[in-house]
A and B are shown apart, each in its own frame.
Chain A
Amino acid sequence: MKSISLSNLPELLSAIAAKEALYLPVDTKEGAEYKAYAEGDSLSLACNTNRSAKDFFFPQVEDMAAFKVEGKKIEIIDVRKETEDFVIFGARACDVKSFEVLDRVFLADPVDTFYKNRREHSTVVALACSAPEETCFCSSFGIDAAEPQGDVSAWIAEGRMFFKPNTQKGETLLSALSALLEESDGAAVEKAKEETRTIMGQLPLQNLPTEHFKPEKLMEHFNDPKWKELSQACIGCGTCTFVCPTCQCFDIRDFDTGNGIQRYRCWDSCMYSDFTQMAADQPRHTQLERFRQRFMHKLVYYPANNEGLFGCVGCGRCLAKCPISMNIAKVMKALGGDK
């Protein structure tokens, strides 16, 4: 296992940034956020960032194509560009898992080339959690915060950061940095893992009921009378969907720039009333249906299409951010718990 003293971490970050684009969570006055590395930035040790890491692969807004319109004629311009190589340094286990959830949507046939392009050019250094919060519930979905996946797994223990490559991309990154890294045994890491798991075990939402959310129970859950009560205070904003690392619904829109048309895609939210609005009518008339759609999608629909993989990674952002504090943990307890 490779390692570096935390005091030398700035040098390591500089070395990566010298090679390719580097993004990492840094502390801001409003909590941790991912940003492009600038000399002097230090890695945030906050449990998680306000916005998720999905932005790197599925940004909130991206141009898809441009059109030149002249009279009756239209010309289509492909505006796609090859992404440069980049490193995401310090993503947590939940966010890393969310990439797998997104992969199954965007890399399914037909492949989304925008997403694939970014995915292929990225190297993810995942950092194990050392101070999880009360809103964390990744272990409910079988994610081990002490053993994050990604191209490289990293741990902080005893004043050092330890690295283990998991993929070819990870090997390449670490070997390029080998001059700064020392070889060390993994005893400290094992101890840190144990500590993290002990803390995880004390968190209130560690064992949310998941066993009830099976494809064969789709209609039973859909028709559950509890949706009415759960959804009644929902204000229909898109906070939960926009901070969610796995929400991937999008809208495609055209913008008339005055000298052409830009077709762009942007995040959309199933919580919005116009999400399914058609010219004449819409199938989800009230907030109840929209609210139900979001949670059914994460807990039942998505797993039904993806061998039981849940569409939630338990990062806890929606718990912290929902204006009315209604969230997936409460939904899971109401629907699947206490039985």
Chain B
Amino acid sequence: MQIEEKFEPTIVAFCCNWCSYAGADLSGTNRLQYPANVKIIRVPCSCRVNPMFILRAFQRGADGVILCGCHPGDCHYTTGNYYARRRMTLLFSMLDFLGIERERTRVEWVSAAEGAKFAATMNDFVATVTRLGKNRRLEDLRCKK
């Protein structure tokens, strides 16, 4: 008999250095739980993330990608997240257009004080992606073991 393994998604979270990364940190120091599936990549600003980052994360085995940055208006560089917002809006719409499940991508604004929001967001995102199952539509078979 085959034992069915529970699907554990790999989640890549791009977190801006000034707000969301600190938010993740805070959720840690407050002992708030969020799944270990989330791999955080720290970026100087949410605007640093270009579409290639997102696609490459999927190529390399991510099942979901989330971008976290400062709340609009609170960007450390004043306007970075406004540009990121437009960029990701268009990219996610395009991914959906090409038939990639829309729930696999998300943008969330998390401030340095919102440790609880960070944990809640991650819990929710991991649950969503777990329900979706493995990323099959934007995968690179060569990268599978």
Spell out A's residues near B (CB within 8 Å): 255, 257-259, 262
Contact = CB atoms under 8 A, between A and B. Distances in A.
9 contacts: A255-B142, A257-B142, A257-B143, A258-B60, A258-B61, A258-B143, A259-B143, A259-B145, A262-B142
Interface of A is mostly: loop
Report which residue of B60, B142, B143 has the largest number of chain A beta carbons within 10 angstroms of its beta carbon: B142
A304 B61 CA distance: 50
Contacts of B61: 258
Interface of B: 60-61, 142-143, 145
Nearest to B145: A259
Given A257-B142, A259-B145, A262-B142, 6 more contacts: A255-B142, A257-B143, A258-B60, A258-B61, A258-B143, A259-B143
A133 to B, nearest CB: 35
Nearest to A264: B142
B57 to A, nearest CB: 12
Report which residue of A255, A257, A259 has the largest number of chain B beta carbons within 10 angstroms of its beta carbon: A257
Report which residue of A255, A258, A259 has the largest number of chain B beta carbons within 10 angstroms of its beta carbon: A258
Contacts of A262: 142
Contacts of A257: 142-143
Contacts of A258: 60-61, 143
Nearest to A262: B142
A257 B61 CA distance: 10
Nearest to A259: B145
A254 to B, nearest CB: 11
A305 B24 CA distance: 66
Contacts of A259: 143, 145
Closest A-B pairs by Cβ, 9 of them: A257-B142, A257-B143, A258-B143, A259-B145, A262-B142, A255-B142, A258-B60, A258-B61, A259-B143
A306 B60 CA distance: 45
Contacts of B145: 259
A262 B140 CA distance: 13
A255 B61 CA distance: 15
